[in-house]
Homo-oligomer: A and B are copies of this chain.
Amino acid sequence: MPEIIPIHDANDPRVEAYVSIRERDLTGGHGGRFIVEGKVTLETLLARSRFEVESLFLCETRLAPLAGILSEVPEGVPVYVAAQGVMDAVAGFPMHRGVLACGRKGAALSPQNVLPKDGPSTALILSELSNHDNVGACFRNAAAFGADAVLLDAASCDPLYRKAIRVSSGAALWLPFSQGGTGADLIAAAEAAGHEVWALTPRSDAAPLPSLKVPERVALLMGAEGPGLPAEMIARARPVRIAMTEGFDSVNVATAAAIALAHVFAARG
């Protein structure tokens, strides 16, 4: 069992990383750290995350039910435990789940770091995705259909945002991703690493998804909710469309990604 450290005072500096979580979420103010909440995500963080765990912060009532998980906490990682009221006061809102942990983001990776060096590769490129639920859902779907990496441009939101991690079913914690640059930079990086880039678009002149042979290395490029990809980015890649009824302009971006990823996964057998 790891070291259990009781916290009696909401101002205790040892739980500073957990103060006013929501406000910090909004301002990106976790300073190189990220917060996960809930039992399932904690399990993923401990079992298969690529990030370092800094500490856990649990409601005292959760200690016994989580005993099995706590045995997996690495040596030297403190487990802070408080009464519900103290925990709520630290977090700044009612922490019903009673399970928080804090990880370190570590050094940012580049597309070259996360794309497989050789052999088959499926990458997902996200450009200007501004909704955390959608980014989380994209990670969940990428994981479900065996994608190797996700490349996000600088304008997309952070996959290590608390809610994005939860929606991703924890996939944001282990599926390799890079974040930075523009969408055009990411197209260039994927191409330089031998990928054919498919730009998903509802445009009628794009090739229907089922008509395409899946190349050994493919990157699926998804654009912003609402406007989708700009014409100049589509022109830099292979435009691919998911056939749908006329007059209904598109499905959710993570849903479109899932359909394309499922097609690639099935084609690879």
Q: Determine whether A190 belongs to the interface, using a CB cutoff of 8 Å to chain B.
A: no
Q: Is the CB of A146 within 8 A of B244?
A: yes
Give the distance in Å from the alpha carbon of A254 to the alpha carbon of B250 in the complex: 15
**Which residues of A141-178 have CB atoms within 8 Å of chain B's CB atoms?**
141, 143-146, 169, 171
Give the number of residues in A that approach B within 8 Å (Cβ atoms). 27
Q: Which B residues lie within 8 Å of A210 (CB)?
A: 266
Instruction: Say yes or no: B251 contacts A265, CB within 8 Å.
Output: no
Contact of A208 among B245, B255, B266 (CB under 8 A): B266
Known: A208-B266, A266-B208, A266-B210. A251 touches B258 (CB 8 A): yes
CA distance in complex: A90, B165 (Å): 37
A contacts with B: majority SS = helix
- A17 at the binding interface (Cβ < 8 Å): no
Contacts A255-B258, A258-B258, A258-B259 given; indicate if A144 touches B266 (C-beta within 8 A).
no
Contact B146 A255 (CB under 8 A): no
User: When chains A and B are docked, how far (Å) is the Cα of A146 from the Cα of B251?
Assistant: 12
CB of A58 within 8 Å of the partner chain: no
Least CB distance, A100 to chain B, in whole angstroms: 23
Complex partner residue of A250 from B144, B248, B255, CB under 8 angstroms: B144
Q: Which residues of chain A from 210 to 226 have any CB-CB distance to chain B below 8 Å in the complex?
A: 210
Residue of B nearest to A255 (CB): B258
State whether A255 and B137 are in contact (beta carbons under 8 Å apart), knowing that A208-B266, A244-B265 are contacts in the complex: yes
A195 within 8 Å of B (CB atoms): no
CB pair B208–A251 under 8 Å, yes or no, is no
Contacts of A27 in B (CB 8 A): none
